[in-house]
Structure 1
Amino acid sequence: MNFHAIRAIYRFEMARTFRTLMQSIASPVLSTSLYFVVFGAAIGSRMGDIGGVSYGAFIIPGLIMLSLLNESISNASFGIYMPKWAGTIYELLSAPVSYVEVVIGYVGAAATKSIALGLLILITARAFVPYHIEHPVWMVGFLILTSITFSLFGFIIGLWADDFQKLQVVPLMVVTPLTFLGGSFYSISMLPPVWQKITLFNPVVYLVSGFRWSFYGKADVNVFVSVGVTFGFMLLCLAIVWWIFRTGWKLKS
């Protein structure tokens, strides 16, 4: 294992974050804070509890997950797309660095940024809504697992994209709608029975449900099912990354 190469890629990606703090950190925190103000304070004060949890506190896991998914994908996809766009990807491919080390460097940096952002949003939420965390170890575990999984997904999008516009297609047209429809702002038990069954085909439901369970001990889906679905998606992403580097798809053409 070439730890020097992993460290070099990781430090380069982290340095890019510090050069763009307003875009990478401040902007998502500010956007999420506005959600807390509007939905938590303004609307939440006029709504009843959901499962014994105030509405403002109920949406905290969903809002963190919304930011986490988008930022994980964005950080990882942009990180690997830039070498492709600049042409330096060929230097990386010809260097004595395996694809495993490349993935660890880029995905590790993207996941680190997302975890830091999630924790920062969690701290910021305290200024708007009181909340508690029943299972802090599970909460951190879900945070790390989700960040790594969707950073891998973003890495795949960065390899697939041919231009900057394509980097935003999947996050804006697929991930964000699925997150809004995945129980971020409501419990799927509030839906009609038919829609409850349809919603279970949305993978984000399992992420939000498991993450919310770590806060309040209440979930729409069994927590072990949530963990299993997340691990399954991560393994699928790993298999796709392996196939891309094995075949050179979108890398050598």
Structure 2
Amino acid sequence: MNFRAIWAIYAYEMARTFRTLAQSVISPVLSTVLYFVVFGTAIGSRIEDVEGVTYGAFIVPGLIMLTLLQQAVANASFGIYFPKFIGTIYEVLTAPLSFIEIVIGYVGAAATKAVMIAVIILITSAFFVDLQIQHPVWMIGFLLLTAISFSLLGFIIGIWASNFEQLQLVPLLLITPLVFLGGAFYTASMLPPFWETLTRFNPVLYLISGFRWSFYGVADMPVGWSLAAVLFFLALCLGFVWWIFRTGWRIRQ
């Protein structure tokens, strides 16, 4: 394992975050504060609680997951697409690196950024609501697994995209709607029977449900199902990334 090369990719990607601090960190945190103001204060004042949890506190895991998924996909997709765009990807591919080392460098940096922003949002939310984390180990586990899984998805999107418009297509048309329809701001039991059943086919519901359970011990789905969903998605993304490097799809073609 070439740890020096992995560190070089990782450090370069992390340095880009601090060069664009306002866009990378401050912007998503401010967006989350606005969510707290609108949903937590304006709407939350009209809702007493959800399954024994105040509404403002109830939406915290959903807000963190929303930002985590968006940032993981965006950072990983741009991180691998930009070298393709300017042609420096061939320097990476011709270097004495295995595809595992390349993926660890890019995906590791994207996941680190996403987790870093998620932690900042978690700390920020403590100023607005009374937070409880009943299962901190599970919380960290879900946070890391989700960040890595969706960073891998972003890596795949970055390789697939042939222009900047396609780079934004999946996050805008798929990730954000799935999060909003996956119980980020409500529990599935609040929906009419038909929509509750339909929501259970949304994979993001399992991620948010497991993450919320780690906070308050309440969940739409059994925590075992949530963990299985995250691991299945992680394995699926790893398999697809392996296939990309095995065939050279969208990299050498």
Q: Give TM class, smaller chain.
A: over 0.9
Amino acid at match of 1:168: Q
Give me the whole-angstrom Cα distance separating, in 2, the residues matched to 1:45 and 1:136: 28
Give me the whole-angstrom Cα distance separating, in 2, the residues matched to 1:185 and 1:32: 13
Is contact 1:41-1:128 (8 Å) kept?
no
Q: Deviations over 1:195-252 (max 9, x none)?
A: 2111111000000000000000000000010000110001000000000000000001
Give me the whole-angstrom Cα distance separating, in 1, the residues matched to 2:201 and 2:111: 25
Residue matched to 2:243: 243
Residue matched to 2:65: 65
Following superposition, the deviation at residue 48 of structure 1 comes to 1.8
Identity among equivalent positions (%) equals 65
Give me the whole-angstrom Cα distance separating, in 1, the residues matched to 2:17 and 2:125: 22
Residue matched to 1:182: 182
Residue matched to 1:106: 106
Residue matched to 2:191: 191
Give me the whole-angstrom Cα distance separating, in 1, the residues matched to 2:197 and 2:133: 28
Following superposition, the deviation at residue 44 of structure 1 comes to 0.4
Give me the whole-angstrom Cα distance separating, in 2, the residues matched to 1:42 and 1:181: 20
Residue matched to 2:219: 219
Residue matched to 1:134: 134
Give me the whole-angstrom Cα distance separating, in 2, the residues matched to 1:38 and 1:197: 28
Residue matched to 2:158: 158
> 1:201 and 2:201 equivalent?
yes
Give me the whole-angstrom Cα distance separating, in 2, the residues matched to 1:125 and 1:165: 33
> 1:48 and 2:48 equivalent?
yes
Give me the whole-angstrom Cα distance separating, in 2, the residues matched to 1:242 and 1:145: 18
Query: Structure 1 unaligned runs (5+)?
Result: none
Residues paired across the two proteins, number: 253
Amino acid at match of 1:163: N
CA-based RMSD: 0.6
Query: Structure 2 unaligned runs (5+)?
Result: none
Residue matched to 1:31: 31
Give me the whole-angstrom Cα distance separating, in 1, the residues matched to 2:43 and 2:49: 12
Give me the whole-angstrom Cα distance separating, in 1, the residues matched to 2:21 and 2:190: 39
Residue matched to 2:17: 17
TM-score, normalised to structure 1, is 0.99
Which stretch shifts more, 193-202 or 65-74? 193-202
Amino acid at match of 2:212: R
SS at match of 1:153: helix
> 1:173 and 2:170 equivalent?
no
Is contact 1:37-1:128 (8 Å) kept?
no
Give me the whole-angstrom Cα distance separating, in 2, the residues matched to 1:126 and 1:25: 18
Give me the whole-angstrom Cα distance separating, in 1, the residues matched to 2:193 and 2:38: 29
Give me the whole-angstrom Cα distance separating, in 2, the residues matched to 1:36 and 1:71: 19
SS at match of 2:186: coil
TM-score, normalised to structure 2, is 0.99
> Structure 1 segments of 4 or more deviating over 2 A?
none
Residue matched to 1:121: 121
Give me the whole-angstrom Cα distance separating, in 1, the residues matched to 2:125 and 2:28: 13
Amino acid at match of 1:180: F
Amino acid at match of 2:16: R
